[in-house]
């Protein structure tokens, strides 16, 4: 049979599973030794043994992955990719003893990035963001969620959505947008969080929906997310924003339990949100609620690492409760400027106590479920996108085990090489 691409002789081909891996089923890699992958028209059409496939298929292009690991591209389901400037000064202030929330309360933190982002044009934002997307791609991320949230007024939030849509067209990494108008309270509403919540509910969400249906009617509505945290939005405000969004037809996400537990994780489960993210100080009863729901638990180990905090997601408890656990970078200029999912995996193995196999499944199929695209990506099942990584390593456990270097040698996107090191 004639096909576009045959990848063969993989020492280990990891196909993963077609559907997300709940609780202790996490870590099913679908490993085929001396594996081969048949690709046509940008999609996977079959996976199997090299000895069979080399005689069965007549590819236009043949790729010898001899001695290496082949796996699906990483999905990064939580990033704040689009911003202007940096916060290197705050990094030093934190090292000198100030906390992240103290810096935010005194007008720095997220607001300092908001000021720079409001002043930037779409063109400037694109040119500052493209190098980050290049880093993500060369480190193996083939699909990423991207949040707004550095605008905090209707005009700038829509400018950020426009930037995300243009970046999606310009760059090979596929982008899935999220509206995070409730990321922080902007300076002009300081001390008036309820009034800002009114603005988000009554003006921003309807305006975003109207704009979206005009700008991109063929795409589903973006996710709506809220930073449910002391000093940001309390539980009642978070509920109001998410319920309003749900009534308008938006799918939901939440930032919950990063520093203080306010009940955001249970809220996410109740509202059938796609995911609840951070989950560092989540109590047992909310973990059980999450475990009984379809809401994906997204852990962001780069964030405590970035903040030099010893507290990480209680991943083992989440698995014990039957939860769907995913990993993401939280890429942002404040707490976690790191584009590499490989680094998140390395931290997850050490601080979440995941095995490399569990971490890989959390960063692929379960990460895809966190942004509701698991039918299209996240594993090398037949019919899914041919988004494929080749590792310069003989064994998948080198992911997690090794860190601080890039093990991804070749990246295929829709069956085409988009990044290669030799």
Note whether 282 binds ligand NIG by CB under 6 A.
no
Q: How far is residue 116's CA from residue 70's CA, in Å, rounded to a whole number? A: 40
**How many positions of this chain bind ligand NIG (CB under 6 A)?**
13
Nearer to ligand NIG, 225 or 409 (CB): 225
- Choice from 330, 339, 358, 374 touching ligand NIG (CB under 6 A): 330
Q: How far is residue 236's CA from residue 177's CA, in Å, rounded to a whole number? A: 25
Question: Could you give the string, one character per residue 230-269, with x where binding to ligand NIG holds by CB under 6 A and - elsewhere?
Answer: -------------------------x--x-----------
Note whether 384 binds ligand NIG by CB under 6 A.
no
Stretch that binds ligand NIG, among 33-41, 46-54, 197-205, 329-337 (CB under 6 A): 329-337
Stretch that binds Fe ion, among 34-42, 93-101, 322-330, 370-378 (CB under 5 A): 322-330
Q: List the single partner that 334 binds among ligand NIG, Fe ion, none, CB under 5 to 8 Å by kind.
A: ligand NIG
Note whether 303 binds ligand NIG by CB under 6 A.
yes
Measured in degrees and rounded to the nearest 5, phi and psi for residue 128 equal -75, -25
- Choice from 4, 157, 330, 358 touching Fe ion (CB under 5 A): 330
Stretch that binds ligand NIG, among 160-168, 333-341, 345-353, 361-369 (CB under 6 A): 333-341
Stretch that binds ligand NIG, among 108-116, 121-129, 279-287, 412-420 (CB under 6 A): 108-116
* CA neighbours closer than 13 Å in the CB half-sphere of residue 316: 7
| Residue 72 near residue 379, CB atoms below 8 Å | yes
Q: How far is residue 230's CA from residue 139's CA, in Å, rounded to a whole number? A: 34
Q: List the single partner that 296 binds among ligand NIG, Fe ion, none, CB under 5 to 8 Å by kind.
A: none
Q: How far is residue 143's CA from residue 64's CA, in Å, rounded to a whole number? A: 24
- Bridge partners, residue 146, by sequence: 177
C-alpha distances in Å from residue 160, one per residue of 83, 86, 106, 186, 220: 9, 17, 25, 16, 17
Stretch that binds Fe ion, among 86-94, 164-172, 307-315, 324-332 (CB under 5 A): 324-332
Measured in degrees and rounded to the nearest 5, phi and psi for residue 302 equal -65, -25
Window 44 to 83, contacts with ligand NIG (CB under 6 A): 80
Q: How far is the CB of 335 from Fe ion (least distance, A)?
A: 8
| Residue 178 near residue 193, CB atoms below 8 Å | no
Helices assigned H by DSSP within 192-251? 193-199, 205-215, 235-247
Tokens of 286: 């909310």
> Which spans of this chain sit near Fe ion (rule: CB under 5 A)?
330
């Amino acid at each position: 049979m004639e096909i576009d691409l045959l990848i063969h002789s993989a020492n280990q081909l990891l196909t993963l599973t077609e559907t997300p891996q709940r609780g202790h089923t996490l870590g099913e890699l679908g490993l085929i030794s001396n594996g081969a992958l048949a690709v046509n028209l940008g999609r996977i059409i079959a996976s199997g043994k090299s000895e069979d496939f080399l005689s069965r298929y007549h590819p236009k292009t043949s790729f010898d992955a001899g001695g290496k690991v082949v796996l699906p591209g990483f999905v990064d389901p939580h990033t704040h990719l689009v911003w202007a400037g940096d916060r290197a000064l705050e990094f030093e202030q934190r090292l000198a003893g100030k906390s992240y929330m103290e810096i935010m309360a005194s007008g720095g933190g997220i607001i300092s990035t908001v000021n720079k982002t409001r002043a930037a044009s779409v063109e400037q934002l694109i040119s500052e963001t493209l190098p980050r997307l290049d880093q993500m791609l060369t480190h193996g991320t083939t699909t990423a969620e991207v949040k707004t949230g550095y605008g905090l007024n209707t005009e700038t939030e829509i400018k950020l959505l426009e930037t995300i849509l243009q970046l999606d067209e310009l760059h090979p990494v596929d982008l899935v947008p999220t509206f995070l108008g409730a990321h922080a309270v902007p300076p002009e509403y300081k001390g008036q969080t309820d009034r800002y919540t009114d603005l988000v509910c009554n003006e921003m969400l309807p305006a975003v929906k109207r704009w979206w249906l005009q700008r991109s009617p063929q795409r589903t509505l973006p996710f709506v997310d809220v930073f449910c945290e002391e000093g940001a939005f309390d539980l009642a405000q978070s509920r109001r924003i998410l319920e309003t969004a749900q009534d308008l037809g938006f799918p939901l996400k939440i930032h919950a339990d990063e520093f203080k537990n306010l009940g955001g994780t249970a809220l996410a489960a109740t509202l059938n949100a796609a995911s609840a993210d951070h989950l560092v100080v989540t109590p047992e009863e909310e973990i059980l609620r999450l475990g009984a729901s379809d809401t994906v638990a997204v852990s962001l180990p780069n964030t405590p690492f970035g903040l030099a905090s010893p507290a990480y997601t209680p991943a083992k408890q989440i698995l014990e409760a039957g939860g769907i656990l995913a990993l993401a970078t939280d890429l942002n200029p404040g707490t976690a400027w790191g584009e590499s999912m490989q680094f998140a995996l390395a931290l997850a193995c050490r601080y979440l106590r995941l095995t490399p196999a569990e971490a890989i499944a959390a960063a692929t199929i379960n990460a895809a479920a966190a942004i509701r695209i698991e039918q299209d990506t996240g594993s090398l099942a037949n019919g899914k996108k041919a988004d494929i990584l080749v590792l310069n390593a003989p064994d998948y456990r080198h992911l997690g085990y090794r860190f601080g270097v890039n093990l991804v040698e070749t990246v295929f996107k829709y069956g085409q090489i988009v990044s290669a090191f030799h």
